[in-house]
């Protein structure tokens, strides 16, 4: 009888543990969902291509010929907004990312300019780096991006 | 943003994949579970065939794939119309009767699953694409859509990121096909397919668990899985491909555990599904090898002669697996792009790997016990695994072996990373664990069932013994 009681107690203990496990799953799941849903509906990123980027892309496409290649120059190395521009302009305009001021001042920029016949550039920063613009316009900056965004034609 | 038109197109494409799967398996789906299996077989086969199609049709492989899917759908609809089989049928009972048949516990778990699905759908359709979802998978889809086929070109001067071309293309293919039907590429319209992946993963997990335990425990396995924040929120809702990889892992487990005697040879979904593991993410090669190992281990549990007999009978399956592996390898050889994220396997890196073992183990254990992401899931899995080792069946032990091996190999991979170690483990290990979480959920409920059975049997024997001895 003692052994039988022991078996019953073990079975009840396991059931209790199962209840705790399921309860824990419900708790952690529910709190996570609530937190993420709140984030998603209160300023969470809804669209990967923002209206500001859409406007900027239209302005670039109006000036840079279809099939051309441009530079995107970051004042500081950055791998999200630069790639947003790169993907948003594809396939009409190809974008080469220039991530440091060293590259802007060095011989690599000239080599790439000749290799890809680059005549235009985007430059983002506070203030943006000047790769040798002949002229440039200011574009709307992307959400969360400080400084300014310039787009212009490069000197020959 | 409900994205209903895109969801509709995604469902239509899923029907095309399912029809293709039914043709490959020479069968008609008899319920939603077999339809789901056909969907996964068709999708994996289409993803695998995209590379040879791209060589044959360098700018129209995508259109050709869509045409073939449409043809398969047409043929499939014709077959269903002729045979009048209702593949969506779950049962002819009324909802009230179903609730009574299911019982309160099952209804409770089904309710939890329903809530989790709703939460995931909300996040999936509300969130935009997150980092990898945008920069890797949707970008590959965009390239595929605009070029019409797989190619060797990434963005100009992007030497390091060109390794992304190596990544498999099941999800980019689906996204590109959806875009082709829509007529215009838009990053914001690609997420609905992930809702289908989530439902598919849940169905496969339920089916896998149902092979081992009763209905309410199977629903408990699904509930434990979908309530995990790591599975249903975060990167899963952001367009990452760990969710579809988990979907295939669950499907492989379900197909292996079902082990239908009706579906053998070319008609067995097992090799198609194991092969499809190669078409989602690069680390699928690890899961591919573990899947084969688990099947072989199960055969070996019956003795060497059984293993040999089964291997001889499974020659068709081996051909299918070889085909998947050959296509994947051929694609990588064709690209000739080296990924410098890991290795190489030289003396210096091996020595560094050996010195990192304790640190990697510590970092990975920390991830396993991260309450906000996993709750008690992984510690409970460890206990459940031990229970299965002592009380489980051969199939269940193989399931434990496969899960533990995958977790270990995934951790071992970090020994060779060239990224900053702690950062890489922090960013990647949870997502890798997500891929095998369906297996772990099934192990947990199976362990509970075996423990309860063991105690019921032991108590019954004890009572019988007591009564026989006249001591009562």
Question: Would you state the structure tokens that stand for residue B237, as one six-digit string?
Answer: 């809702």
Question: Is the Cβ pair A25, B134 closer than 8 Å?
Answer: no
Strand order in the sheet with A148-154: A94-98, A69-74, A120-125, A148-154, A133-139
CB-nearest partner of B156 from A28, A45, A94: A94
Top residue of A20, A34, A48 to mutate, by most chain B CBs within 10 Å, is A48
- Give A143→chain B minimum CA distance, Å: 14
Q: Measure the CA–CA gap between A150 and A73, rounded to whole angstroms.
A: 10
Q: Measure the CA–CA gap between B293 and B239, rounded to whole angstroms.
A: 30
State the average pLDDT for chain B: 92
Average pLDDT over residues B347-371: 94
Q: Measure the CA–CA gap between B190 and B174, rounded to whole angstroms.
A: 9
Q: Measure the CA–CA gap between B198 and B193, rounded to whole angstroms.
A: 9
Residue A143, chain B, CB below 8 Å: the answer is no
CB-nearest partner of A69 from B156, B451, B455: B156
Q: ipTM of this model?
A: 0.92
Q: Say yes or no to pLDDT of B89 above 50.
A: no
Higher pLDDT, B81 or B252: B252
B208-247 residue pLDDT tens: 999 999 999 999 999 999 999 999 998 999 999 999 999 9
Top residue of A16, A20, A21, A83 to mutate, by most chain B CBs within 10 Å, is A21
Residue A23, chain B, CB below 8 Å: the answer is no
Please give the residue of chain B at the shortest CA–CA distance from A44. B127
Q: State the distance between the two ends of chain B, measured CA to CA, in whole angstroms.
A: 68
Question: Is the Cβ pair B376, A20 closer than 8 Å?
Answer: yes
Question: Is the Cβ pair B126, A44 closer than 8 Å?
Answer: yes
Question: Would you state the structure tokens that stand for residue B288, as one six-digit string?
Answer: 């591919």
Q: Measure the CA–CA gap between B229 and A71, rounded to whole angstroms.
A: 40
Contact B440, B434 (CB under 8 A): no
Q: Measure the CA–CA gap between B324 and B45, rounded to whole angstroms.
A: 8
Residue A18, chain B, CB below 8 Å: the answer is yes
- Using CA atoms, how far residue B125 sits from B56, B137, B254, B282, in Å, is 36, 17, 28, 26
* Nearest CA among B69, B22, B37 for reference residue B50: B69
B189-214 residue pLDDT tens: 999 999 999 999 999 999 999 999 99
Higher pLDDT, A108 or A63: A63
So what's the pLDDT on residue B92?
Answer: 47
CB-nearest partner of A40 from B127, B131, B462: B127
So what's the pLDDT on residue B358?
Answer: 96
So what's the pLDDT on residue A13?
Answer: 87
So what's the pLDDT on residue B8?
Answer: 96
Average pLDDT over residues B246-265: 87
So what's the pLDDT on residue A8?
Answer: 75
Percent of chain B with pLDDT over 90: 82
So what's the pLDDT on residue B90?
Answer: 46
Q: Say yes or no to pLDDT of B1 above 60.
A: yes
Confidence of residue B338 (pLDDT cuts 50, 70, 90): confident
Question: Is the Cβ pair B134, A48 closer than 8 Å?
Answer: yes
Residue A99, chain B, CB below 8 Å: the answer is no
* Total CB pairs under 8 A between chain A and B: 124
String of DSSP letters for B271-336: HHHHHHGGGT-TTHHHHHHHHHHHHHHHHHTT-HHHHHHHHHHTHHHHHHHHHHHHHHHHHHHHH-
So what's the pLDDT on residue B382?
Answer: 97
Question: Is the Cβ pair B126, A3 closer than 8 Å?
Answer: no
So what's the pLDDT on residue A103?
Answer: 74
Q: Say yes or no to pLDDT of B159 above 90.
A: no
Instruction: List the 33-92 stretch of A: residues with Cβ below 8 A of B.
Output: 33, 36-37, 40-41, 44-49, 69, 80, 83, 86-87, 90-91
As a whole number of Å, the CA-based R_g of chain B is 23
* Nearest CA among B417, B425, B419, B426 for reference residue B349: B417
How far is residue B313 CA from its own chain's centroid?
26
Which residues, including other chains, have CB under 8 Å from residue B97's CB and lie 6 or more apart? none
* Nearest CA among B256, B439, B328 for reference residue B45: B328
So what's the pLDDT on residue B263?
Answer: 63
- Give B141→chain A minimum CA distance, Å: 11
CB-nearest partner of B452 from A14, A28, A32: A14
Question: Is the Cβ pair A97, B232 closer than 8 Å?
Answer: no
Question: Is the Cβ pair B127, A1 closer than 8 Å?
Answer: no
So what's the pLDDT on residue B251?
Answer: 98
For tokens 């359709």, name the residue. B125
Q: Say yes or no to pLDDT of B264 above 50.
A: yes
CB-nearest partner of B233 from A36, A46, A112: A36
* Nearest CA among B167, B166, B169 for reference residue B144: B169
Question: Is the Cβ pair B157, A87 closer than 8 Å?
Answer: no
- Give B30→chain A minimum CA distance, Å: 32
- Give B448→chain A minimum CA distance, Å: 8
Span of A36-50, A131-145, B143-157, B438-452 with lowest mean pLDDT: A36-50
Average pLDDT over residues B128-132: 92
CB-nearest partner of A47 from B188, B377, B466: B188
Question: Is the Cβ pair A29, B116 closer than 8 Å?
Answer: yes
Please give the residue of chain A at the shortest CA–CA distance from B130. A48
- Using CA atoms, how far residue B35 sits from B16, B38, B90, B203, in Å, is 11, 5, 11, 10
Q: Measure the CA–CA gap between B278 and B280, rounded to whole angstroms.
A: 6
Q: Say yes or no to pLDDT of A7 above 70.
A: no
Q: Measure the CA–CA gap between B92 and B97, rounded to whole angstroms.
A: 10
| Bridge-based pairing state of the strands A120-125 and A94-98 | unpaired
State the average pLDDT for chain A: 89
Residue A19, chain B, CB below 8 Å: the answer is no
Other C-beta atoms within 10 Å of B300: how many?
16
* Nearest CA among B220, B231, B221, B229 for reference residue B107: B220
Sign for the pseudo-dihedral over CA of B219, B221, B226, B228: positive
Q: Measure the CA–CA gap between B440 and B225, rounded to whole angstroms.
A: 9
Q: Measure the CA–CA gap between B270 and B262, rounded to whole angstroms.
A: 13
So what's the pLDDT on residue A45?
Answer: 64
Chain A residues in contact with B377 (beta carbon < 8 A)? 25
H or E element, residue A98:
strand A94-98
Question: Is the Cβ pair A28, B131 closer than 8 Å?
Answer: no
Q: Measure the CA–CA gap between B453 and B459, rounded to whole angstroms.
A: 10
Contact A81, A113 (CB under 8 A): no
Contact B3, B192 (CB under 8 A): yes
CB-nearest partner of A21 from B122, B157, B380: B380
Q: For the whole model, what pTM was predicted?
A: 0.94
Chain B residues in contact with A94 (beta carbon < 8 A)? 155-156
Question: Would you state the structure tokens that stand for residue B1, as one six-digit string?
Answer: 């943003």
Q: Measure the CA–CA gap between B351 and B424, rounded to whole angstroms.
A: 19
Chain A residues in contact with B129 (beta carbon < 8 A)? 48
So what's the pLDDT on residue B97?
Answer: 56
- Give B298→chain A minimum CA distance, Å: 29
Contact B349, B416 (CB under 8 A): yes
Residue A16, chain B, CB below 8 Å: the answer is no
Q: Measure the CA–CA gap between B243 and B240, rounded to whole angstroms.
A: 7
Q: Say yes or no to pLDDT of A28 above 90.
A: yes
- Give B208→chain A minimum CA distance, Å: 19
So what's the pLDDT on residue A9?
Answer: 79
So what's the pLDDT on residue B359?
Answer: 95
Contact B19, B76 (CB under 8 A): yes
Q: Say yes or no to pLDDT of B91 above 50.
A: no
Q: Measure the CA–CA gap between A4 and B459, rounded to whole angstroms.
A: 6
């Amino acid at each position: 009888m003692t052994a039988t009681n022991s078996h019953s107690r073990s079975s009840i203990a396991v059931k209790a543990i199962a209840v705790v496990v399921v309860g824990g799953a419900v708790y952690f799941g529910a709190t996570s969902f609530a937190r993420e849903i709140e984030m998603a509906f209160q300023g969470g990123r809804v669209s990967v291509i923002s209206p500001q980027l859409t406007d900027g892309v239209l302005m670039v496409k109006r000036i840079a010929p279809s099939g051309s290649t441009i530079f995107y120059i970051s004042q500081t190395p950055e791998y999200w907004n630069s790639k947003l521009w790169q993907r948003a302009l594809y396939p009409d305009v190809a974008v080469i990312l220039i991530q440091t001021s060293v590259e802007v001042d060095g011989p690599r920029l000239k080599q790439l300019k000749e290799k890809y016949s680059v005549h235009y550039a985007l430059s983002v920063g506070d203030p943006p780096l000047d790769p040798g613009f002949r002229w440039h316009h200011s574009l709307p900056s992307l959400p969360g991006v400080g400084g300014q965004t310039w787009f212009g034609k490069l000197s020959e | 943003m409900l994205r209903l038109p895109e969801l509709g197109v995604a469902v239509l494409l899923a029907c095309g994949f399912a029809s293709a799967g039914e043709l490959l398996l020479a069968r008609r789906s008899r319920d939603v579970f077999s339809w789901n299996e056909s969907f996964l077989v068709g999708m994996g086969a289409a993803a695998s065939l995209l590379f040879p199609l791209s060589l044959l049709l360098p700018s129209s492989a995508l259109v050709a794939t869509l045409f073939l899917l449409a043809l398969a759908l047409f043929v499939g609809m014709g077959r269903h119309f002729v045979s009048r089989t209702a593949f969506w049928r779950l049962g002819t009972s009324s909802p009230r009767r179903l609730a009574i048949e299911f019982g309160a516990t099952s209804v409770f778990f089904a309710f939890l699953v329903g809530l989790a699905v709703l939460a995931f759908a909300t996040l999936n359709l509300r969130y935009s694409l997150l980092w990898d979802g945008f920069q890797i998978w949707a970008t590959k889809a965009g390239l595929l859509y605009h070029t019409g086929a797989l190619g060797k070109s990434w963005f100009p001067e992007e030497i390091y990121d060109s390794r992304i071309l190596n990544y498999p293309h099941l999800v980019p293919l689906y996204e590109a096909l959806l875009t082709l039907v829509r007529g215009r590429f838009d990053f914001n319209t690609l997420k609905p397919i992930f809702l289908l992946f989530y439902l598919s993963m849940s169905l496969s997990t339920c089916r896998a668990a149902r092979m081992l335990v009763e209905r309410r425990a199977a629903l408990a396995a699904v509930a434990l899985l979908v309530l995990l924040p790591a599975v249903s929120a975060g990167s899963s809702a952001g367009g990452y491909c760990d969710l579809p990889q988990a979907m295939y892992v669950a499907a492989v487990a379900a197909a292996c555990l079902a082990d239908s005697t009706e579906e053998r040879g070319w008609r067995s979904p097992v090799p198609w599904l194991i092969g499809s593991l190669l078409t989602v993410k690069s680390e699928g090669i690890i899961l591919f090898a573990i899947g084969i190992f688990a099947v072989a281990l199960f055969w070996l549990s019956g003795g060497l002669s059984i293993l040999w007999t089964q291997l001889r009978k499974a020659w068709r399956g081996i051909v299918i697996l070889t085909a998947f592996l050959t296509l994947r390898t051929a694609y990588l050889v064709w690209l000739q792009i080296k990924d410098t994220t890991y290795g190489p396997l030289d003396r210096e890196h091996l020595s560094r790997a050996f010195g990192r073992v304790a640190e990697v183990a510590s970092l990975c254990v920390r991830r396993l016990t991260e309450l906000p992401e996993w709750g008690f899931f992984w510690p409970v899995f460890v206990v459940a695994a031990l229970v299965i080792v002592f009380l489980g069946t051969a199939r269940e032990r193989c399931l434990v072996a496969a899960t533990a091996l995958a977790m270990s190999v995934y951790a071992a991979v970090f020994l060779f990373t060239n990224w900053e170690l702690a950062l890489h483990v922090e960013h990647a290990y949870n997502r890798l664990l997500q891929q095998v979480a369906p297996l772990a959920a099934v192990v947990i409920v199976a362990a509970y069932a075996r423990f309860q059975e063991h105690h019921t049997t032991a108590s019954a024997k004890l009572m019988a013994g007591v009564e026989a001895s006249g001591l009562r």
